[in-house]
């Protein structure tokens, strides 16, 4: 019985110490003003390449074919 009480007391002490040390890392709710400032600080995402290395064209180019020949054109 003595070991059980020591185990319960130790577990309670560890849980109490852990609960007081734990802090939430969530961002505070800033409302609509916070969203607009967050959007203004972001940079636009630009596509680097539409495809990787293909059998005919390198990154950033796609194969385009006309009536008489094919070529590599930049992707848009």
Domain boundaries, given as residue ranges, for the chain: 46-76
**60's torsion region: left (phi>0), alpha (psi -120 to 50) or beta?**
left
Of 6 and 23, the one with more pLDDT: 6
Structure tokens at 29: 């709710």
pLDDT of res. 69: 95
CA 70 to chain centre: 39
Of 63 and 38, the one with more pLDDT: 63
Q: What CA–CA distance (Å, rounded) separates 21 from 62?
A: 56
Instruction: Provide the whole-model pTM.
Output: 0.35
Distance in angstroms between the alpha carbons of the first and the last residue of the chain? 76
Summarize the confidence of residues 1-27 as an average pLDDT: 76
Summarize the confidence of residues 17-38 as an average pLDDT: 60
């Amino acid at each position: 019985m003595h070991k059980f009480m020591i185990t319960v007391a130790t577990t309670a002490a560890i849980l109490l110490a852990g609960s007081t040390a734990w802090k939430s890392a969530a961002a505070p709710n800033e409302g609509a003003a916070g969203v607009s400032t967050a959007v203004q600080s972001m940079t636009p995402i630009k596509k680097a390449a539409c495809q990787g290395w293909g059998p005919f064209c390198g990154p950033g180019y796609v194969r385009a074919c006309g009536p008489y020949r094919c070529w590599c054109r930049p992707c848009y």
